[in-house]
Chains A and B, each alone.
Chain A
Amino acid sequence: DQQVKQNSPSLSVQEGRISILNCDYTNSMFDYFLWYKKYPAEGPTFLISISSIKDKNEDGRFTVFLNKSAKHLSLHIVPSQPGDSAVYFCAASGTGGFKTIFGAGTRLFVKA
Chain B
Amino acid sequence: DTEVTQTPKHLVMGMTNKKSLKCEQHMGHRAMYWYKQKAKKPPELMFVYSYEKLSINESVPSRFSPECPNSSLLNLHLHALQPEDSALYLCASSPGAGAQETQYFGPGTRLLVL
Contacts and interface: CB of A to CB of B under 8 A. Distances in A.
Contact of A43 (B42, B45, B102, B106): B106
Contact of B99 (A2, A43, A89, A95): A95
Interface in B77-114: 90, 92, 99-100, 102-108
Interface residues of A, number: 29
Contacts of A32: 99-100
A93 B40 contact: no
A46 B103 contact: yes
A34 B99 CA distance: 11
B21 interface: no
A97 B45 CA distance: 13
A46 B104 contact: yes
A104 B41 contact: yes
Interface of A: 2, 4, 9, 31-32, 34, 36, 41-46, 49, 51, 89, 93-105
Interface of B: 4, 6, 40-45, 48, 56, 58, 90, 92, 99-100, 102-108
Given A43-B6, A103-B42, 12 more contacts: A31-B99, A43-B92, A43-B108, A45-B104, A51-B100, A89-B42, A94-B99, A95-B100, A99-B45, A100-B45, A100-B103, A101-B42
